[in-house]
Amino acid sequence: MSSKNLFSFLFLLVLPFSSSSDTTAGIKSGFWYAGSEFPVPEIPSTMYTHLHFAFAYINTTSFELYISHSDEPYISTFYETVKQNNPSVITLLSILGGRNESTNFFAMTSQYSRRKSFIRTSIKTARQYGFQGLDLLAVNPNTATNMTNMRTFIEEWRTAIDSESKSSGTKRLILTMGAYYSPMLDSMSYPVDTIVRNFDWVHLITYDYYLPTKDNFTGAHTALYDPASKLNTDYGIKEWIKSGLPANKIVLGLAYHGYAWTLVNPNHNTVGSPARGPAITQDGSMSYRYIKNYMKSYGVTPVYNSTLVVNYVTIGSFWIGYDDVEAIKTKVSYAKDKGLLGFAAFQIPSDDVDWELSKAALDEEEEDQRDSNQRLLAILLPTLTITILLLSTILCILKRKTTRSEGIGELNERAIGRNLKVFSFDQIKEATDNFSIKNKIGEGGFGPVYKGRLSDGEEIAVKRLSECSKQGVEEFQNEVSLASKLQHVNVLQLQGYCIKREEKILIYEYMPNKSLDFYLYDPVKSLKLDWETRIRIIEGVTQGLLYLQEYSTFTVIHRDLKASNILLDDEMKPKISDFGIARLFQKDEKEANTGKIVGTYGCVPPEYVNQGIYSRKYDVYSFGVLLLQILGGKKNSCVYGIENNLNLLEYAYELWQKGNGVDFIDILLQDDSQIGKQLRCMQVALLCVQEKWEDRPSMLEVHSMLKNETEILPNPKVPAFSKNKDNTTQETVVTIELACSDNSLTISQLIAR
């Protein structure tokens, strides 16, 4: 019997026990948001009783339920996949009715025929994909008319669900609602009586109380209690119960994400301290996974505030508020004490690689259950033993499985769904004054870039792609929506796109200070880049690359990291640009196969030139080259040394070897008090450009080497593309035609011998 079959068999044995205790057992539900791109087979479904697939939406014209095109491949296999690990897990399809969808939702509820379309298609879709329930999330009534329509809709929905079950002879679909933390919002209350009668349970959105984009002080975004404010979970739950929703129909929301603020004064860093906007990510949101990695890389530990039941941590002027294991355990235990039905976690992929939060919630829940089920336990002891054995085996396997998985985390939980703007061609034409040459600010790898100003005054950068993309519109949209999910302060934010016939246009945030290469090699402009500024740029690029490689939902290999792709904002803070959509253009791969590679000389590592291999170490190599350029203020397309026969890497290495590294450092930076740090950066750079990719450090290591000034660094080996190799097994000769004036050169490759 294969291990999978064995599991299913054992589960069947346990099934009678688990279903007989189902009525008393708490609901342990969790969300999987398709936009997270987290692999469905790796969802720890054994730790949950219910899984929500998020989200389905309402079509604005037909009012039918629809699944966004990019989510379709997931939804069709979701049910089967999660059941493989846990045959008794129940799946629900979550429909977003609130936030950006609320106008749409109320438009749907306002007419009988629209409600009918929606109700019919919601049931049909749920059945088609094997869901056992439907969930309506984040709706809140805002006017009396809307409230009345909402009541009617809920009644009709439930009636239709009941009759579908009767006529089809299948088990009735579960109907749940995800409501805000308190029944009373902006003077309008939820229709509690209708909700009680028609929904199986209500799970509460007991998080996002404070947001760095909205509040100018650090907030406990998911506080259980707060003596100083009503904005807390305990208050909301009491209000719900007071208004008539029984405790045993309430499911507590758990947040597996937190928010990062920038502190006004790093010494004032408790809850409620002055802050000015988000930190680390665009809107400050961070998954628990990302927060843990972040804390680990800085070696800091969080504070637990037991009054509010939240954790927070301060790193320099960044402040992150979130729930760690203690907070989660306390909340689950609170839910048990109050007789609530269970918990709903948003969202499972944000948990860390070892599923620490899921485990904490599960342990707490099971523990209490064991206490109250003493008698039952005595009777069913043998079965329970099997369950526990089984569970620990699964945990064990799961752990092994998940530690292997890539760093998947950071997701912008707030920007649910379609967070990308679609611009019309006319809008863009107007913004750029018909792509006027005076608005042209650059020529990127994929076409010209223009500065534009939208009618509301917002400045944008417009990249008009040349015809090199051979992809269809749909593929283009998919790729673009993937790129839009990357959100980090050191990564240029894609804001939207525009498609019209042959035209494919990308719209980015506008960077007033151009790019790094604009300053670096110019004797006057480079005065603007003092050592402090350069260090900040290095740190920012490191953080951006760390995010792309380790913490973003999918690993991004940039493959064209260079000074002209490092853009600078009004404070000279760097943002990495021109990535993500790199996949759109198959050019590189094709040419690799024909033995000719177009790249930017010096930024392309040898394993790619020679064998077409690219890995994360590709960007590490380019980062090393960039670091040398920042330190030396030197171009990499020139020759150096007494005999003018050394390339930039050879030159740096030779000076380093001779103990004359200081001669490499830009004359403008030379300052005795900083030389130690500068030479350390140079050593790290030389480690990054080593010939063999296996020898190069990872970005995590690079980050740690730059941060911990006492860490002993290894001695760099000969850099790539050196004439004097210490490695005699090298068989490949690479000839590089270069000219000082030209930045993008062709590297033609000859395989010798």
Q: Which residue is nearest to ligand NAG (CB)?
A: 143
Residue 187 as a binder of ligand NAG (CB under 6 A): the answer is: no
- Cross-sheet strand order for the sheet of 494-500: 421-422, 494-500, 503-509, 459-464, 447-453, 440-444
User: Could you tell me where the DSSP H helices lie in 32-89?
Assistant: 72-85
Options 17, 21, 66, 239; binder of ligand NAG; rule CB under 6 A: 66
Query: How many residues does the structure list for the chain?
Result: 753
Q: Which stretch binds ligand NAG (CB under 6 A): 102-110, 255-263, 463-471, 498-506?
A: 102-110
Q: Which of 208, 560, 578, 666 is catalytic?
A: 560
Q: Does 735 bind ligand NAG (CB under 6 A)?
A: no
246 binding ligand NAG? (CB under 6 A): no
Interface positions, 642-671, toward ligand NAG (CB under 6 A): none
Question: At closest approach, how far in Å is the CB of 534 from ligand NAG?
Answer: 31
Q: Which among 305-313, 459-467, 525-533, 606-614 is the span making contact with ligand NAG, rule CB under 6 A? A: 305-313
Tell me the number of residues near ligand NAG by CB under 6 A. Answer: 23
Q: Which residues face 345 on adjacent strands?
A: 30, 254
Q: What is the 3-state secondary structure (H, E, C) of 322-342?
A: ECCHHHHHHHHHHHHHCCCCE
Candidate ranges 300-308, 317-325, 446-454, 620-628; the one touching ligand NAG (CB under 6 A): 300-308
The reply to whether 213 sits near ligand NAG by the rule CB under 6 A is: no
Burial 226-235 (b: 16+ CB within 10 A, else e): beeeebbbbb
Per DSSP, what are the bridge partners of residue 640? 646
CB of 620 to ligand NAG, least distance (A): 35
Nearer to ligand NAG, 306 or 586 (CB): 306
- DSSP three-state, residue 188: strand
Q: Which two tokens stand for residue 389?
A: 């054995």
Residue 111 interacting with ligand NAG (CB under 6 A): no
Are 45 and 456 spatial neighbours (Cβ–Cβ below 8 Å)?
no
- 727 touching ligand NAG, by CB under 6 A: no
Nearest approach in angstroms of CB 362 to ligand NAG is 27
**248 binds ligand NAG per the rule CB under 6 A:** no
Shortest CB 223 distance to ligand NAG, Å: 9
Cα angle 67-73-77, degrees, rounded to a multiple of 5: 105
Interaction between residue 676 and ligand NAG (CB under 6 A):
no
Burial of 345-380, coded b for 16+ CB within 10 Å and e otherwise, reads bbbbbbbbbbbbbbbbbbebbbebbeeebeebeeeb
Name the minimum Å distance from CB 55 to ligand NAG: 13
Q: What angle separates helix 144-168 from helix 112-128, to the nearest 10 degrees?
A: 40
Closest CB to ligand NAG among 121 and 182? 121
CA atoms within 13 A on the CB side of 685: 28
Q: Does 106 bind ligand NAG (CB under 6 A)?
A: yes
Interface with ligand NAG includes 229 (CB under 6 A)?
Answer: no
Chosen residue from 19, 111, 170, 216 binding ligand NAG by CB under 6 A: 216
CB of 93 to ligand NAG, least distance (A): 16
Considering the complex, state which of residue 103 and residue 741 has its C-beta at the smaller distance from ligand NAG. Answer: 103
CB 63 within 8 A of CB 105: no
Q: Are 207 and 252 in contact (CB under 8 A)?
A: no
Residue 146 backbone phi and psi in degrees, to 5: -60, -40
153/355 with CB nearer ligand NAG:
153
Identify which of residues 307 and 424 has a Cβ nearer to ligand NAG in the complex: 307
> Which of 77, 265, 307, 611 contacts ligand NAG by CB under 6 A?
307
Does residue 560 have an active-site annotation? yes
Residue of 8, 18, 59, 229 that binds ligand NAG (CB under 6 A): 59
CB 149 → ligand NAG: shortest distance, Å?
A: 8
* Surface-to-core class of residue 731, CB atoms within 10 Å of its CB (0-12 exposed, 13-18 middle, 19+ buried): exposed
**Closer CB to ligand NAG, residue 62 or residue 170?**
62
CA pair distance 495, 427, nearest whole angstrom = 14
Could you count the other beta carbons within 10 Å of the beta carbon of residue 195?
22
The yes or no reply on residue 385 touching ligand NAG (CB under 6 A) is no
Query: How many angstroms separate the CA atoms of 379 and 626, rounded?
Result: 68
With binding defined as CB under 6 A, does residue 100 bind ligand NAG? Answer: yes
Q: Does 274 bind ligand NAG (CB under 6 A)?
A: yes
CA angle 22, 23, 26 (to 5 degrees): 70
Q: What is the DSSP letter of 549?
A: I
Binding to ligand NAG by residue 729, rule CB under 6 A? Answer: no
Residues 68 and 95 sit within 8 Å (Cβ to Cβ): no
Give the tokens for residue 544: 């951006």
Question: Which range binds ligand NAG by CB under 6 A, 99-107, 395-403, 637-645, 688-696?
Answer: 99-107
Q: Residue 91's closest CA among 6, 154, 171? A: 171
Near ligand NAG by CB under 6 A, which window of 264-272, 344-352, 373-381, 556-564?
264-272
Residues in 417-476 that interact with ligand NAG by CB under 6 A: 418-419
Question: Taking the complex as a whole, how short is the minimal distance between the CB of residue 263 and ligand NAG, in angstroms?
Answer: 11
Q: How far is the CB of 61 from ligand NAG (least distance, A)?
A: 5
**Segment near ligand NAG (CB under 6 A), from 59-67, 443-451, 582-590, 714-722?**
59-67
Q: Is residue 477 close enough to count as binding ligand NAG by CB under 6 A? A: no
Q: Which is nearer to ligand NAG, 145 or 372 (CB)?
A: 145
Q: How far is CA 696 from CA 438, 579, 590, 616, 628, in A?
A: 43, 22, 26, 10, 15
220 in Cβ contact with 305 (< 8 Å): yes
Residue 62 contacts ligand NAG per CB under 6 A = yes
| Nearest Cα residue to 37 out of 405, 334, 356 | 405
Pick one of 56, 95, 205, 308: the residue that binds ligand NAG (CB under 6 A).
Answer: 308
Q: Does 218 bind ligand NAG (CB under 6 A)?
A: no
Determine, following the binding rule CB under 6 A, whether residue 305 of this chain makes contact with ligand NAG: yes
127-186 positions binding ligand NAG, by CB under 6 A: 142-143, 145-146
Choice from 3, 5, 23, 103 touching ligand NAG (CB under 6 A): 103
**Torsion sign over Cα 16, 18, 22, 28:** negative
Residue 441 · residue 461 · CB < 8 Å: yes
CA distance 578 to 560: 8
Q: Which residues are catalytic?
A: 560
- Return residues touching ligand NAG (CB under 6 A): 59, 61-62, 66, 100, 102-103, 106, 142-143, 145-146, 216, 270-272, 274, 305-308, 418-419
